[in-house]
Amino acid sequence: MRRADGYYAQFCIDIDRTEDLTPTGKTIGLDMGLESFYTDSNGVKVENPRYLRKAEKRLKQAQRRVSRKKKGSANRLKARKRLARQHLKVSRQRKDFAIKTARCVGVRCRTPIQSNDLVALEDLKVRNMVKNHHLAQSISDASWSMFRTWLEYYGKVMGRVVIAMAPHYTSQECSSCHVIVKKSLSTRTHTCQCGCVLDRDHNAALNILAAGLKSTQGHWETATLRESIAPTTEAQSDVAS
């Protein structure tokens, strides 16, 4: 495989990777966004790193250097390689963030997959969303699809339930009384007549979690019950023997 900084070789090994984790009995819902990368159903926000936005100045400078060089010259080729390495760095930063956010790393981590038995998130159609030219760059920079891919992968490895729910009306519906409260994108606080006042994204995350629990109720409750009964059954068999 060829990259901007050289050639790489990949070796594929077919193994069954699993990690045994103790069930926590906890669940969480995630509302993906641009202001914050995601807001969970506990009200915790994870900052959106915006790697492309931060690298825009360097990328523009590198692009100008390419444009100033004579076509076909060795200097132009060197400038193109420098520009490609800048883009590669942004790509790797996104991937690194997606992996570390999908899997808990160290005690400072706020990420969901290791500390929750069920994770519900939005089933976002990114391919359709990037057709909005005003938000396309920001949506691509957020790398939601990559985050979801790694979240689902670690869910299989760790035996966690990861489910993607339809995002329709998650921001409009009140998580307390389920009444539809229409609001524009600029309205960041959910205020309902029932007295519920929440951050817009927090309210959406609660709705996503509720929908996820409803759709997987039988499967998740059975799995949780099995895990909780298993130690007791083993203890009783040890006493009997």
Just list the catalytic residues.
31, 122, 201
Contact 43, 202 (CB under 8 A): yes
Beta bridge partners of 202: none
Residue 24 corresponds to which tokens in the numbers above? Answer: 């926590």
d(CA 22, CA 159): 10
State the Cα–Cα distance between residues 241 and 225, nearest whole angstrom.
24
Q: Do residues 43 and 199 lie in contact, with contact meaning Cβ atoms separated by under 8 Å?
A: yes
Helical H segments across the chain, by residue range: 51-68, 74-102, 126-129, 136-142, 144-158, 200-215, 217-240
